[in-house]
Structure 1
């Protein structure tokens, strides 16, 4: 009898397909003004990093208030995430670039890596989101 009860307990409480979820807390600062919006691409894989809209896990648009944009994203599957962000002054969804391809709009990456050698890798920008915890991403725009 005890074995049958134990078997039923494991059957109903163990689901190998069950995903564990955490929360992402976003804080974007160092904006020059509150005009426009902040555009973010959140990636859970290296593929498409840092610009592919099709490969991003989530696309987020944030409003600015007092030079800062904040948002909490619940129900994020546990894993590694990296974020690219820019201040979209004209709200067209596209980052403005100069003739040689360098961004004119203020931009940034999670973990605020050095940009001396070009676009930072997904590996340098990712943070681990763990189940039942909040992972804070603080990004300063440049």
Structure 2
């Protein structure tokens, strides 16, 4: 009987802790080909945005299928999150840039902001992730 009560306590505690997290679903479209991968950086703070590997909350490499890359991340603590991505054709983990620093690889940001005045801010690209909610990030590569 004690084992059954203990097991029930553990189960209820685990399900309660699970409800303190949200889920992020990422869909990256407009890839020019299925060659290579999509490199993803997810930030939960403005510091380091948009390219500091050391300050990103999560870093991942996604395969491309049917010219789309997708990923679902569970157990995401509530907060603001912004995502930056690029199509890494040669799979070397680095975005190729021209002589003035403009990316040669296709790239994108969450919320698909205008790029008229340079790199968009963390606040323009971020979305709120809440407990028990799935937050969708649809990113179009440019």
TM-score scaled by length of structure 2: 0.87
Q: Return the alpha-carbon distance in structure 1 between the equivalents of residues 105 and 19 of structure 2.
A: 37
**Contact 1:43 1:56 (8 Å CA) reproduced:** yes
Structure 2 unaligned residues grouped into runs of 5+: 1-12
SS of the residue 2:55 aligns to: coil
In the TM superposition, residue 60 of structure 1 has moved relative to its aligned partner by 1.2
SS of the residue 2:124 aligns to: helix
Q: Return the alpha-carbon distance in structure 2 between the equivalents of residues 68 and 52 of structure 1.
A: 25
- 1:74 counterpart = 2:71: no
- What does residue 126 of structure 2 align with? 126
**Structure 1 outlier segments of 4+, above 4 Å:** none
Larger radius of gyration: 1
Q: Return the alpha-carbon distance in structure 2 between the equivalents of residues 19 and 136 of structure 1.
A: 18
Between structures 1 and 2, the one with greater helix share: 2
Within a 5 Å distance, the mapping from 1:1-142 to structure 2 comes to: 20-142=20-142
- What does residue 3 of structure 2 align with? none
In the TM superposition, residue 19 of structure 1 has moved relative to its aligned partner by 8.5
**Contact 1:19 1:77 (8 Å CA) reproduced:** no
Structure 1 unaligned residues grouped into runs of 5+: 1-12
SS of the residue 1:54 aligns to: helix
